[in-house]
Amino acid sequence: MSGLFSRALAVAGVVLLLSGCAKKQDVIVETGAGKETSKGAIDADPIALLPGNAVGVLGLDAKALSASPFGARLTAIAKARSPLPESAEFEPARDLDRVYLGFYSMQGVDTVGIAVGRFKPDKIEQAGTSAAATSAAGGAGTPITKSEYAGRAVFTSRGMGFTVLTERTLLLGDETGIRRALDRIQGGRTKRQLPKWMTDALESKTAPLAGGADFTSQPLPAAAREQLAFVDGLKTLALVGNFADPGLNLAGTLSYAEADSATRGAENLKALHSRLSTYGTVLALLGIPQPVRSLDAKAEQTEVRFVVGVDGGAVAVLLEKAEAYLSALGVAPAARPSNP
């Protein structure tokens, strides 16, 4: 589950970056001619673009994220590493409204996302083409490539990619995920295939962050079970959150196959909080506040109700440390192409 959550945050960053990277150039399924989903239909129901069989989903209010205590830092890092020049005329805080994410694998990257906002397809494609040409010529900074699939320009960089569908909708994810979604669009097969409870989470209007995961179809990785004891026997996760004080608040329900597993899950979750608390002194030496302010969990038959409060300032510091770490590894910020 930790991998799933980290990928959610990573893709949120990719939305702000408008960048991604390529996998092999295979066709996922054959597409039908003359049946392409219209722009109006795409904009009317962006959730329908997500393929079914998702392990997990997450809906994010992009403006609430941007206004969070760590949103400014996340945006600054994203803009610094974006390979697109200012000529793309895209400002995340101004232009991005909401993001819908679908995760299709517990191991490795298999993600599809839909960003809803205000985009300028011609400007973004022109800027992306310029950035790809600079990258192909050996230019410094974040590498970006341009390819064509299903009649659309797809830009990829460092594991993720994107293509602008309309002035209101942008598709992002790993390249296999993007191609799967584009095949459905070109074949006119865009309809809601996710379970209703996942769709309801994505459409939540009561919380700026909502999602869920179903671990019954794919087993959790052994590494997750070893490092996070509370996931042992876990079946599903339902989650809502906001960015109020102290910065990130999460509340949710974990469901287990048996009541005994739920009791152990609650105990292990509280034990995790205790272990994290012991790292406070070490974190303080590194200039990082204790991230987890509070964590409570209570077992009720086969379910565990939990609430978590995360320090937004600590998240901002962690993002800053991560930026410095990437720079130390030689993953430099983008050398943006000059505006045409």
Domain residue spans in the chain?
2-194, 228-318
What pLDDT does residue 11 have?
Answer: 43
Contact at 8 Å (CB) between 261 and 267? no
CB atoms within 10 A of CB 123: 15
3-state DSSP assignment of residue 85: coil
What pLDDT does residue 192 have?
Answer: 93
Give the fold, CATH level 3, of 228-318. Gyrase A; domain 2 (3.30.1360)
Q: How far is Cα 90 from Cα 15, in angstroms, rounded to an integer?
A: 11
Contact at 8 Å (CB) between 110 and 160? no
> What's the chain's Rg over C-alpha atoms?
20
Which positions ≥6 away from 32 have C-beta within 8 Å?
186, 187, 188, 189
Taking CB atoms within 8 Å and a gap of at least 24, the contacts of 295-300 are 295/269, 295/270, 296/270, 297/265, 297/266, 297/269, 297/270, 298/266, 299/259, 299/262, 299/263, 299/265, 299/266, 300/262
Strand partners, 303: 255, 300
Contact at 8 Å (CB) between 88 and 338? no
* pTM exceeds 0.85, yes or no: no
CB atoms within 10 A of CB 77: 19
What pLDDT does residue 340 have?
Answer: 43
> What does residue 306 show for φ and ψ, rounded to 5 degrees?
-140, 155
Which positions ≥6 away from 57 have C-beta within 8 Å?
50, 100, 101, 102, 103, 194, 198, 201, 202, 211, 212, 213
**Which of 96, 97, 84, 92 has its CA nearest to residue 124?**
84
The single-letter DSSP state of residue 305 is E
End-to-end Cα, the chain, rounded Å:
44
Query: Tens digit of pLDDT per residue, the chain (340 long)?
Result: 434 434 444 444 444 444 333 333 334 444 445 589 999 999 999 999 999 889 999 999 999 999 999 988 888 877 766 656 677 888 888 899 999 999 987 666 689 999 999 999 999 999 888 888 887 776 666 678 999 999 999 998 877 889 999 999 999 999 889 999 999 999 999 999 999 999 999 998 889 999 999 988 776 666 666 667 788 889 999 999 999 999 999 999 999 999 999 999 999 999 888 887 777 777 777 777 778 889 999 999 999 999 999 999 888 888 887 777 666 655 555 444 444 4
Q: How far is Cα 226 from Cα 3, in angstroms, rounded to an integer?
A: 13
**Which of 186, 182, 170 has its CA nearest to residue 113?**
170
